[in-house]
Amino acid sequence: MNKTQHLYTHTYAQSERCVIDLTLSENPLGCSETVKPAIQKGLNDLHRYPHHEEPLIQALAKHHGVSPRQILIDAGANQLLEDVFRILACQKGVLTSIAVFPEPLAYIETLGGYSVTIPLKEGFHVDIDTLLKEITAEIGLIYLCNPNNPTGITTPTKEILSLTKQTQLPVVVSEAGMDFVGRSLIHKNMPSNLLVIRSFSKAYGLAGLRIGYVVAHAEMIARLKRSLSAFRVNALALKAAIAVLQDQEHLRFSIQYLLKQKQILMDEMQKLGFEVVPSEGQTFIAQVPQHFKNATDFCEKAKKHGVSVVDCSLYAGLERYIRIAPQLQEVNQRFLSILKTIVLKEEVR
Ligand SMILES: Cc1ncc(COP(=O)(O)O)c(C=O)c1O
């Protein structure tokens, strides 16, 4: 068994972002117009503790067709991952894929835990069969992202459900980017060991307010609640989340827009010599052309032109890959034209 010392450290509130920044998966169109009036109303109650989670829980239960007792709200998917890891796997191993949203893995190490990582299989897919073989008494939980981060590639629902049947360990799946795919493991009769984490940061456009939720079996939710303090989410985020849920039209429009931008970026980058890996999610990865030493080399050169993308070399096997998150059309176009300059310059060297 390989205990992985994670290369990742927390990106603690980075100060400045490049003008042409394709690193973060947000909704560059912004959130629904319904949010501003909702927040405006909430401003009168800022002196009160945020007691009123119930309307959002009811709205989410209706949206997903589950019981309100299956839902717990928290300050974003990352916060939930950290809370769930602490409660269910303190000082234990977290079994996961080599390429996965890394923030909570850095956290588990601060709790005396560690991660055990499994290489991706062909086509950059998560290798569930190998994952199963690595389960030992020291493992506290299994952690997956669907779609995966950084690849944007999905793992079939039936593979994850089969995994939950073959182990009693909690299987924690971050579906932070699942709005772009339109499927979910969330169900009224979820396996008792499955926890699905969702985010309002991506397609819903509320990254700045920090709100997300976990859906699981009601007993699992009760167990989590016993270990968590009250008032985890601020009052304005609660109001905003209800508002965005009610505007599914804006959600659909945003998803369509970003997936179209993703396709344009993939096509154009392919023409420039990047080997693009198609994905179902918001983001995709691409191998940098041969004349770059590796992804780090590419990213350093891109930064000099005011462009930033994610360097995937912290993931073993992805040292030549970068991750791209589509932004507004004009930003993507500027990115592509700068990319052309960078690539041509390197080619003639
Ligand atoms: C798979 C995955 N989980 C969790 C998160 C964190 O989401 P949030 O902003 O809700 O904390 C991200 C953000 O990129 C992600 O990709």
Q: Can you tell me whether residue 241 is helix, strand or coil?
A: helix
**Distance of CA 179 from the midpoint of ligand 1 (Å):** 12
Q: How far is the CA of 77 from the centre of ligand 1 (A)?
A: 5
Q: What is the pLDDT of residue 160?
A: 98
The per-residue pLDDT for range 297-335, each reduced to its tens digit, is 999 999 999 999 999 999 999 999 999 999 999 999 999
Alpha-carbon distance 49 to 263, whole Å? 44
What is the C-alpha to C-alpha distance for residues 293 and 296, in angstroms, rounded to an integer?
8
Split at pLDDT 50, 70, 90, the class of 13 is low
Q: What's the average model confidence in pLDDT over 111-124? A: 94
**Mean pLDDT rounded to a whole number for the chain:** 94
Query: pLDDT value at position 18?
Result: 75
C-alpha–C-alpha distance, residues 67 and 57, integer Å: 9
Q: Are 167 and 132 in contact (CB under 8 A)?
A: yes
283 lines ligand 1 (CB under 6 A): no
pLDDT band at 19 (very low <50, low <70, confident <90, very high): confident
Task: Give the pLDDT mean for 83-110.
Answer: 94
C-beta 177 within 6 A of ligand 1: yes
Q: Is the pLDDT of residue 5 over 70?
A: no
Distance CA 178, CA 174 (A): 9
pLDDT reported for residue 252:
98
- Give me the pLDDT at residue 345, please: 82
Q: 328 by DSSP, 3-state: which?
A: coil
Q: Which tokens is 188 given?
A: 């009224």
Contact 186, 45 (CB under 8 A): no
Tell which phi-psi region holds residue 273, choosing left (phi > 0), alpha (psi between -120 and 50) or beta: left
Show Cβ contacts of residue 315 under 8 Å, excluding neighbours closer than 6 positions.
98, 99, 150, 321
Measure the CA–CA gap between 264 and 336, rounded to whole angstroms. 10
151 has a pLDDT exceeding 80: yes
Q: What is the mean pLDDT of residues 195-223?
A: 98
- Give the whole-number percent of the chain exceeding pLDDT 70: 95
Question: What length does the chain have?
Answer: 349
One-character DSSP codes across 23-87: -S---TT-S-TTHHHHHHHHGGGTTS-----HHHHHHHHHHHT--GGGEEEES-HHHHHHHHHHH
- Position 194 pLDDT exceeds 60: yes
Report which ligand 1 atom has the smallest distance to the Cα of 202: 9
Share of the chain above pLDDT 90, in %: 90
Q: What pLDDT is stored for residue 348 in this prediction?
A: 66
Among 15-19, 84-88, 196-200, 229-233, the minimum mean pLDDT is found in: 15-19
Please tell me the distance between residue 263's alpha carbon and the centre of ligand 1 in angstroms.
22
Residue 63 has pLDDT above 90, yes or no: yes
pLDDT confidence bin for 174, thresholds 50/70/90: very high
Q: Which atom of ligand 1 is nearest to the CA of 207?
A: 9
pLDDT of residue 308: 95
Q: Please tell me the predicted confidence (pLDDT) of residue 68.
A: 98
Closest CA to 288 of 280, 297, 279: 297
| pLDDT at 69 > cutoff 60 | yes
CA of 175 to the centre of ligand 1 (A): 8
Q: What is the pLDDT of residues 160-173, one digit of tens each?
A: 999 999 999 999 99
Going from the N-terminus, what domains does the chain have, and what CATH number goes with each? 18-26+249-347 (3.90.1150.10), 35-246 (3.40.640.10)
Q: Which of 333, 328, 313, 308 is nearest to 17 (CA)?
A: 308
How does residue 6 score in pLDDT terms, banded at 50, 70 and 90? low
The predicted model gives 233-249 an average pLDDT of: 98
Q: Which residue has its alpha carbon closest to ligand 1 atom 12?
A: 176
**Average of per-residue pLDDT across 270-295:** 97
| Residue 16 clears pLDDT 60, i.e. is over it | yes
pTM of the model: 0.95
Q: In angstroms, rounded to a whole number, what is the distance separating the alpha carbons of residues 172 and 59?
A: 23
Best probe residue, ligand 1, of 174, 196, 200, 214 (max atoms within 8 Å of C-beta): 174
